[in-house]
Amino acid sequence: MKHVTSMLVACLVTFSAAAQAADDPPFLDQKSAATADGHAFFTHICQACHMADGKGAAGAGAYPALAANPRLASALYPAAMVLNGRAGMPAFGNVLSNQQIADVVNYVRTHFGNDYHDPLTAAQVQALRPQEKP
């Protein structure tokens, strides 16, 4: 499953890179991903399904709007979605760090008509991850 998710992320990154505007962050390879911000992760991963304006899409599938989305009021909801996935959304917990998840969630919660400024932390994301048994 890890390889399937990695392949999906690579496809999404490639699609986003091909569609990016001149003022968007550069293509995310492993080196640049280490220093990328929430906007870069949104542009290169999320926007492929949720669209550049965050309004979602319908067609071959239904991709919910992130724009003006009241479900984003609690930072833990989108964090759990990014971490674990749900329905047609893949989990990104095995390819994004706690800080990267916090960054993209904080970006989405403060853009696209969302005005939620209580930041999600990497520690909160870590607490959502399954705990390994000793």
Cβ(9)–Cβ(92) under 8 Å? yes
Tokens matching residue 78:
């989108």
Just give the CATH number of 2-128: 1.10.760.10
Four-point Cα dihedral 11, 20, 85, 115, nearest 10 = 180
- The percentage of the chain sitting over the pLDDT mark of 90, rounded to a whole number, equals 60
- Rounded distance, CA 126 to CA 101, Å? 10
How confident is residue 50, by pLDDT bands cut at 50, 70 and 90?
Answer: very high
Q: Backbone phi, then psi, for 26, in 5-degree steps?
A: -65, 165
**86 - beta bridge partners?**
89
Residue type, 96: L
- Model pLDDT, residue 129: 93
- Annotated domain spans of the chain: 2-128
Selected residue with higher pLDDT from 27 and 120: 120
Tens-place pLDDT, residues 91-119: 999 999 999 999 999 999 999 999 999 99
pLDDT digits (tens, 9 = 90+) for 19-43: 444 444 445 566 566 668 999 989 9
Gap between the Cα atoms of 97 and 129, Å rounded: 11
Compute the average pLDDT of residues 43-61.
91
Instruction: Give the global pTM.
Output: 0.75
